[in-house]
């Protein structure tokens, strides 16, 4: 009975992460469209504040329901819990800001398919980073890294042995998202997941707003044109999908979690094909296939 309950729990959390992957994959289209009107910091500031604001009533209503049903809620009970929550928000929010900024800065110079597949390399990077946390990495993982590098070469190299600027930013994004995933794996079992998500967005919003005011002059008309994309990314990708990530990763095997979330690359390619009519050459498709193979094999 306990085994059946555990399996049911795992399936539910995998489905939660699958929904998040679908949203993220389709959000690559919104990010690509929005990047044509406004700078990456402006886009990121808008979506982050939206993501934080829409979670505030969720937290309030959830606390009220839990208080009525159980007499308790998810508010921190003592200083230790509060400091853990604040630390979690600061760490995950900082990682998310730098990852999202590099992604948004790079997405304007590449296709949604490329962006999705390169970003998905976090499922190879995560176990490599795990070495620094005292975990052993099997030889198979190093083979997956080599396979991913070959796939990345076929997908991104054009004419010379150098990554394009946009592709390099997307690869940096994959590394930074790996740090965010590891931080979520650490903090999500220790604090309220919805509060962690909200604080994560607040930290990301503060970073992006300060830098936006310093480096990107605000254009009201351009922001109006980009608003549908900002709203979709803010409500769906930030507010809903990242919250689903934190909920879904809680007490779930990170290997299963990262494999499920990596499907965002598939949905980004499908979204680019269906909505933006983007295509890939046979060489680029071969690169995608090798990178996806590296992702899958690394998780088996």
For residue 98, the model assigns a pLDDT of 94
Query: In whole angstroms, what is the distance from residue 129 CA to residue 71 CA?
Result: 41
Looking from the CA of 70 toward its CB, the CA atoms found within 13 Å total: 7
* pLDDT of res. 55: 92
Q: Which phi and psi (to 5°) does residue 191 adopt?
A: -135, 170
pLDDT at 290: 83
| Residue of 19, 10, 16, 33 lying closest to 264 (CA atoms) | 19
45, 101 contact by CB (below 8 A): no
Distances (CA, A) of 189 to 1, 192, 242, 255, 259: 24, 8, 16, 16, 20
Compute the distance between CA of residue 148 and CA of residue 255 in angstroms, rounded to an integer.
Answer: 17
pLDDT for 57 equals 92
Residue 234: what pLDDT? 93
Per-residue pLDDT at 299: 58
Closest CA to 251 of 198, 299, 191: 191
Task: Tell me what pLDDT residue 41 has.
Answer: 92
| Distance (Å, whole) CA 284 – CA 51 | 34
Query: Is residue 114 packed enough to be buried (19+ CB in 10 Å), middle (13-18) or exposed (0-12)?
Result: buried
- The encoded tokens of residue 244 equal 């689903």
Residue by residue, pLDDT tens for the chain (300 residues) are 545 555 666 778 888 988 998 898 888 788 878 888 999 899 999 999 999 999 999 899 988 888 888 878 788 888 999 999 999 999 999 999 999 889 878 877 777 667 777 887 887 888 788 777 776 767 777 787 788 778 877 776 665 556 678 888 888 999 999 999 889 988 988 999 899 999 999 999 999 999 999 999 888 899 999 999 999 999 998 899 988 988 888 877 676 677 778 777 777 777 777 777 777 778 878 887 887 787 677 656
DSSP state of 132: G
Note the pLDDT of residue 162. Answer: 63
């Amino acid at each position: 009975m306990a085994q059946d309950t555990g399996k049911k729990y795992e399936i539910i959390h995998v489905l939660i992460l699958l929904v998040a992957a679908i949203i993220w994959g389709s959000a690559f289209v919104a990010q690509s469209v929005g990047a044509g009107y406004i700078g990456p910091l402006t886009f990121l500031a808008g979506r982050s504040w939206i993501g934080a604001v829409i979670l505030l009533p969720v937290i309030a209503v959830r606390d009220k329901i839990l208080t009525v049903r159980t007499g308790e809620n998810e508010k921190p009970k003592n200083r230790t819990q509060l400091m853990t929550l604040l630390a979690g928000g600061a760490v995950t929010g900082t990682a998310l800001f730098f990852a999202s900024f590099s992604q948004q800065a790079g997405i304007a110079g590449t296709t949604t398919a490329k962006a999705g597949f390169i970003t998905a390399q976090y499922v190879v990077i995560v176990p490599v980073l795990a070495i620094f946390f005292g975990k052993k990495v099997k030889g198979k993982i190093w083979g997956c890294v080599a396979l991913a590098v070959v796939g990345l070469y076929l997908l991104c190299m054009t004419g010379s042995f150098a990554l394009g600027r946009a592709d390099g930013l997307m690869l940096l994004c994959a590394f930074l998202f790996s740090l965010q995933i590891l931080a979520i794996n650490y903090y999500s079992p220790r604090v309220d997941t919805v509060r962690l998500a909200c604080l994560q967005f607040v930290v990301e919003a503060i970073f992006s707003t300060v830098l936006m005011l310093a480096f990107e002059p605000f254009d009201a008309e351009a922001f109006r044109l980009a608003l549908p994309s900002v709203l979709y990314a803010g409500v769906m990708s930030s507010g809903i999908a990242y919250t689903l990530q934190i909920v879904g990763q809680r007490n779930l095997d990170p290997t299963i979690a990262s494999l499920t979330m990596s499907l965002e690359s598939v949905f980004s390619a499908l979204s680019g094909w269906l909505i933006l009519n983007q295509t890939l050459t046979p060489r680029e498709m071969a690169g995608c296939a090798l990178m996806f193979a590296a992702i899958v094999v690394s998780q088996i």
